Amino acid sequence: MNNQVDISFDKLYNEFENRIKSLEKLPALKENTSAEKMLIEKGFSRRDFMKWAGAITAMLALPSNFTPLMADAIKVVDRLPIIWLHMAECTGCSEALLRSAHPTIDSLIFDYISLEYHETLMAAAGWQAEENIEHAMHKYKGQYILMVEGGIPTANNGSFLTIGGHAKKGLDIAKEASENAAAIFAIGTCSAFGGVQAAIPNPTGAVALSEVTHKTVINVPGCPPSEKNIVGTLMYYLLYGSLPALDAYNRPKWAYRLRIHDLCERRGHFDAGEFVENFGDEGAKDGYCLYKVGCKGPYTFNNCSKNKFNEDTSWPVQAGFGCIGCSEPNFWDTMGTVNEPLKDKLYNTTFSGLGADATADKVGLGLLVATGVGLAAHATLSAIKPPKE
């Protein structure tokens, strides 16, 4: 059995090697430099770099002897042309990746890759910018990776979002760019599921990218997604040349396979029934579970509890604040109030508005009280006015 596994990994190793070689032959965007050199210039040691490559290797569930290969792959990462579109969004995903307190290797790699078009980062503006995207889409037709940030407004024929001097609709750009892409990544919850602008009442008719194209979209949700999931998805595609295994919501399984709750460091307290009742109480000091103060970790598939943020420094639950479920579809509408358990979520349109602004328990207790009053009345009447025998 073990032998078989080894053989298959050998095969994979060779495939990766060949793919890296073939990518090496493609023209590099940046001349006379390499990702490694760039990192060393920015003050990282080779050791840091190899550690990082090892972490990405482990994250993609590859054996550790793939680490040097991963390092090689990063050197050719600038061979893949990338077009990054901004739709209806806050640029938080780009910002989170690029403007960390001190630059992380992930963010530097992201800076380094061949971004053919990225409105926040590029120098061009106006007509020139518009020309750039058309040029890139034409030149790298069928080869580029499309990364989209933001939901796609579709109401009024998509006229809620227009870009550039020709007032091209975001909807049309997204469709066109998807059509000729080699792979499509929806970066962040907005482009993966619609996000905040798709929350009720959704005036702009914002939808997920996958709703406007017939091609497979890999969703990398999160608000923002962790930089590791973005770079990891890119490295996966670079190495395998194919799309990763996806879950029911088209999220890569290597990142979104388990719930926050499954790997949470407070899970022992959850099972023991030890809960923080209020922020700052004794339980909070003892690191008890945040379920009663609204943690949505049990419903949320993501790897924050494993990978953490800011180079493994911490993550929300470690810092004492519950998960808000940002990587789940429609989390703005469905996860309920941030600091309250799900059962206290307010209904909005139930029973054509009758149940509005009430919790399940309120509605339920209301029904129960009404029944109780009705039965008490019936019992009283039955007792006072019994039928004549």
Partner 1 sequence: MNNTEIEYDDKLGTKRVRVRRMTFTMRLIHWVNVVAMVVAIATGLYIADPYYQSFIADDAVDKYVMAWNRWGHLIVAIIFDVTAIIVSYLFFFSRFEKHYLKILPTKKNIIEFGEVTLNLLTLNRRKKFDSSHSDSFNSVYFIIFHILLAWMLFTGLQMYVHALASGDSSIGAWWPWMLHLVTDWTIPFSSWLVGTTATGGNIMDVRIVHHMSMWIIIVWVVFHIYYQIWRTIFWQEGDIAIVVGGSKFMKIDKDGNKNIE
What are the residues binding ligand SF4 (CB under 6 A)? 222, 260-261, 264, 266-267, 270, 289-291, 295, 297-298, 300, 302, 304, 315-317, 322-327
Minimum CB separation of residue 52 from ligand SF4 in Å reads 21
Is the CB of 133 or the CB of 223 nearer to ligand SF4?
Answer: 223
**302, 293 Cβ separation under 8 angstroms:** no
Q: What are phi and psi of 288, to 5 degrees?
A: -65, 170
Report what 327 binds from partner 1, ligand SF4, none; CB cut-off 5-8 Å by kind.
Answer: ligand SF4
Q: Where are the alpha helices (DSSP H) in 148-287?
A: 155-158, 170-179, 189-193, 227-240, 253-256, 267-272, 282-285
Instruction: Between 76 and 96, name the residue whose CB sits nearer to ligand SF4.
Output: 96
Q: Is 339 in the site for partner 1 (CB under 8 A)?
A: no
Distance of alpha carbon 258 from alpha carbon 149, whole angstroms: 24
- Which one of residues 159, 318, 330, 339 is an interface residue with partner 1 (CB under 8 A)? 330
Q: Which of 228, 218, 225 is nearest to 107 (CA)?
A: 228
Is 285 among the residues that bind partner 1 (CB under 8 A)?
Answer: no
CA distances (Å), 39 to each of 69, 87, 103, 212, 312, in order? 17, 31, 10, 38, 19
Q: What is the nearest approach in angstroms of partner 1 to the Cβ of residue 208?
A: 8
Q: How far is the CB of 351 from partner 1 (least distance, A)?
A: 9
- Which residues contact residue 164 at a Cβ distance below 8 angstroms, ignoring those fewer than 6 apart? 126, 127, 129, 130
- By the rule CB under 8 A, 253 interacts with partner 1: yes
Torsion, CA 22, CA 23, CA 25, CA 29, rounded to 10: 170
* Residue 154 binds: one of ligand SF4, partner 1, none (C-beta under 5 to 8 A by kind): none
Q: How many residues does the chain have?
A: 389
Question: In what side-by-side order are the strands of the sheet with 218-220?
Answer: 115-118, 82-86, 145-149, 183-187, 218-220
Q: Does 160 bind partner 1 (CB under 8 A)?
A: no
Residue of 272, 310, 313, 373 interacting with partner 1 (CB under 8 A): 272
Q: Cα–Cα–Cα angle for 216, 218, 221, nearest 5°?
A: 140
Residue 309 CB, shortest distance to ligand SF4, in Å, is 8
> How many CA atoms lie within 13 Å of 386's alpha carbon, on the beta-carbon side?
3
Q: Is 365 in the site for partner 1 (CB under 8 A)?
A: yes
Sole binder of partner 1 in the list 301, 305, 307, 309 (CB under 8 A): 301
- Interface residues with partner 1 (CB under 8 A) are 193-194, 198-202, 207-208, 247-248, 253, 256-259, 270-275, 277, 282-283, 286, 288, 291-292, 299, 301, 328-330, 333-335, 341-345, 347-350, 360-361, 363-365, 367-368, 371-372, 375, 378-379, 381-382, 385-387
